[in-house]
């Protein structure tokens, strides 16, 4: 998969992205609204393998988001198959925060999911106090459908349905 936006290149993660992902998942602020736990290199390696397997199994996974000018990875954005449906999610290095990167990447990935992957329903979940991610979901076209519980946590559930 390959997408290009004004500032970004979005493509499949590869084993070469392990060091970047390890750094990303070792940042407690990046992980704060996911599960609040930093990941070890072995956990990150497993997560990377699951995404690469997802490309083959489901036709999607989380994708690498890279700065167009130098291809430096700054985050991930994409889809995972979860027990509650096709999950849209993302996380970015702190250096990318506050610049509209999540919205830019998210809109491009959502268009890809709807137009190319023909996804009928995409779910976005967010913890109630994660206002920034809630704004990203809304700007990407998600509609709030209600409160739910996922992995023992109360969450706000958003969806895009086609």
The reported pLDDT for the residue numbered 55 is 97
Q: How many domains does the chain have?
A: 1
Identify whether 70 is part of a domain.
yes
- On whether residue 7 sits in a domain, the answer given is yes
Q: Is residue 137 part of a domain?
A: no
**Residue 74 domain flag:** yes
Question: Is position 36 within any domain?
Answer: yes
CATH code assigned at 96: 3.40.630.30
Structure tokens at 117: 């992957």
Residue 114 in domain: yes
In a domain, 144, yes or no: no
72 lies in some domain:
yes
pLDDT score, position 152: 87
Q: Given a cut of 90, is residue 12 above it in pLDDT?
A: yes
- Rounded alpha-carbon distances, angstroms, from residue 108 to 23, 73, 119: 25, 16, 14
Q: Please state the three-class secondary structure of the chain as a single string.
A: CEEECCCEEEEECCHHHHHHHHHHHCCHHHHCCCCCCCCCHHHHHHHHHHHHHHHHHCCCCEEEEEECCCCCEEEEEEEEEECCEEEEEEEECHHHCCCCHHHHHHHHHHHHHHHCCCCCEEEEEECCCCHHHHHHHHHCCCEEEEEEEECCEEEEEEEEEC
What tens digit of pLDDT does each residue of 91-133 get? 999 999 999 999 999 999 999 999 999 999 999 999 999 999 9
The whole domain housing 107 covers 2-120
Residue 75 to residue 62: CA distance in whole angstroms: 10
């Amino acid at each position: 998969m390959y997408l290009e936006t004004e500032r970004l290149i979005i493509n499949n993660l590869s084993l070469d992205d392990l060091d970047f992902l390890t750094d990303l998942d070792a940042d407690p602020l990046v992980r704060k609204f996911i599960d609040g736990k930093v990941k070890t290199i072995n956990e990150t390696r497993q997560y990377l393998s699951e995404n690469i397997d997802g490309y083959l199994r489901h036709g999607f996974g989380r994708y690498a988001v890279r700065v167009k000018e130098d291809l430096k990875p700054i985050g991930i954005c994409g889809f995972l198959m979860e027990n509650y449906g096709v999950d849209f999610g993302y996380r970015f290095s702190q250096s990318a925060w506050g610049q509209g990167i999540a919205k830019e990447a998210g809109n491009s990935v959502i268009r890809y999911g709807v137009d190319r992957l023909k996804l009928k329903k995409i779910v976005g979940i967010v913890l109630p106090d994660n206002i920034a991610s809630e704004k990203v979901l809304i700007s990407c076209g998600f509609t709030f459908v209600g409160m739910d519980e996922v992995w023992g946590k109360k969450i706000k559930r958003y969806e895009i349905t086609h």
